[in-house]
Amino acid sequence: MIFDPQIKIPATYMRGGTSKGVFFRLQDLPKSAQIPGKARDQLLLRIIGSPDPYGKQIDGMGGATSSTSKTVIISKSNKVDHDVDYLFGQVSIDKAFVDWTGNCGNLTAAVGSFAIANGLIDKAKIPKQGNAIVRIWQANINKTIVAKIPITNGEVQETGDFELDGVTFPAAEIEIEFIDPAEEGESALFPTGNLVDELPLPKEIVSQGKLKATFITAGIPTMFVNAADIGYSGIELQSDINNDSQALERFEKLRAYGAMKMGLINQIEEATTRQHTPKIAFVSPPKKYLASSGKEVKSENIDLVVRALSMGKLHHAMMGTAAVAIATAAAIPGTLVNLATGGGNRESVIFGHPSGILKVGAHAEEHNGKWLVKKVIMSRSARILMEGNIYVPNQAFGD
């Protein structure tokens, strides 16, 4: 039998924050994959190496973790006052599924750099020295993100001394602003209308049959619970959670009930088709612990500790979009996140995660009893790891 040869597609492999992904210009994809649908999903699955029953993604670009099984498609924007459209696809490792329901905050840090390097930004907007301001339309969630990209001699400056816990080597600092990050609507920031809910649950999930939770949509739909209420200290590392199949199953059930409460799904079973959102995280007051690198995190240097799961596993650091949710919830008195910090008003928060600490700022306002978040600011870094062509069997998507 004769098989068609592989095709090659221009691509860039980039690190953004604590994630890695394969970046494409929309115009470089095969025609059938330039529009949403089966052909695009099949192409990205094959490029990343999914679905892989071995869970390793050996035959693709994925790294067998939620942080490294990611794809990004960038194009010039037709939106007023925006430079590029950014579409993010979270590729499942063991299932034939690409989740388009949310953003990746970490890879957001790489979008501006990729756009400049690939000729998607007007050269008049790129200074000789200083920062290029790239206005990004996040097409998954229809939100504006502003990235400040450091420029030296008219080119993106990637090297520097900015250190980000969860990333081994320093790089140039990129400031990111998430503008109006909550969903639209009267009760959009808190979809249940409450800062804290009592979530009814089957007793096989929690023995008390209910659980306090804060549901918020800033950055990404997220469900926060108290670590102590589910039997954890809050300073667990990946091995403590990800090696426990019963714990992972329990978290997934919790997440499914949270998705129902947030109105994201209509039936519990639908959670399997919405793996990227909502996120589930557990919080605790500040505690001393050793990060995964062996570095000591001192309780006096943080406001609280947070652990979050992504695609069914405890994240090795913190998802950027979840950091937006954390900062927003911390800024609003009465949420579980705010109470874990000790309560009160705040415009920034320093939280501990499995790889270290992260500071995020949020500007929230109360109007007529309703909370609004105007913007969330954080610093990340990004750099090109490799650029060239991705090779993929033509039969993978039938172009």
pLDDT reported for residue 1: 78
Residues 211 and 343 in one domain: yes
Active site residues: 104, 319
Instruction: Print the domain residue range for 134.
Output: 6-173+382-396
Within a domain: residue 1? no
Residues 163 and 253 in one domain: no
What does the alpha-carbon distance between residue 141 and residue 259 come to, in Å, rounded to a whole number? Answer: 17
What does the alpha-carbon distance between residue 241 and residue 247 come to, in Å, rounded to a whole number? Answer: 7
Which phi and psi (to 5°) does residue 397 adopt?
A: -140, -5
Residues 143 and 210 in one domain: no
14: left (phi over 0), alpha (psi -120 to 50) or beta: beta
What does the alpha-carbon distance between residue 399 and residue 30 come to, in Å, rounded to a whole number? Answer: 7
pLDDT reported for residue 272: 87
Residues 228 and 362 in one domain: yes
Residues 44 and 167 in one domain: yes
Within a domain: residue 183? no
Determine contact, residues 383/171, Cβ cutoff 8 Å.
Answer: yes
Task: Return the residue matching tokens 């081994």.
Answer: 168
Burial 251-275 (b: 16+ CB within 10 A, else e): bebbbbbbbbbbebbeeeeebeebb
What does the alpha-carbon distance between residue 103 and residue 90 come to, in Å, rounded to a whole number? Answer: 9
pLDDT digits (tens, 9 = 90+) for 210-229: 999 999 999 999 999 999 99
pLDDT reported for residue 369: 80
Task: Assess whether pLDDT exceeds 60 at residue 264.
Answer: yes
Task: Assess whether pLDDT exceeds 70 at residue 159.
Answer: yes
pLDDT digits (tens, 9 = 90+) for 295-349: 999 999 999 999 999 999 999 999 999 999 999 999 999 999 999 999 999 999 9
pLDDT reported for residue 275: 86
Q: Which two tokens stand for residue 119?
A: 């000729």
Determine contact, residues 111/62, Cβ cutoff 8 Å.
Answer: no
Within a domain: residue 188? no
pLDDT band for 184, please (50, 70, 90 cuts): low
pLDDT top residue among 184 and 172: 172
Residues 350 and 390 in one domain: no
The predicted model scores a pTM of: 0.90
Q: Assign 15 to helix, strand or coil.
A: strand
What does the alpha-carbon distance between residue 141 and residue 134 come to, in Å, rounded to a whole number? Answer: 18
Residues 111 and 28 in one domain: yes
Residues 232 and 348 in one domain: yes
Within a domain: residue 191? no
Within a domain: residue 59? yes
pLDDT reported for residue 368: 82
pLDDT band for 187, please (50, 70, 90 cuts): low
What average pLDDT does range 344-369 have in this prediction? 94
Residues 78 and 107 in one domain: yes
What does the alpha-carbon distance between residue 350 and residue 22 come to, in Å, rounded to a whole number? Answer: 30
pLDDT reported for residue 46: 97
Residues 238 and 334 in one domain: yes
Within a domain: residue 151? yes
What average pLDDT does range 265-285 have in this prediction? 93
What does the alpha-carbon distance between residue 174 and residue 164 come to, in Å, rounded to a whole number? Answer: 11
DSSP-assigned letters across all residues of 188-204: SSSTTS-SSEEEE--TT
Say which CATH number the domain at 144 has.
3.10.310.10
Residues 113 and 48 in one domain: yes
What does the alpha-carbon distance between residue 77 and residue 137 come to, in Å, rounded to a whole number? Answer: 7
pLDDT top residue among 337 and 276: 337
Number of domains in the chain: 2
Residues 147 and 228 in one domain: no
Within a domain: residue 88? yes
pLDDT reported for residue 185: 57
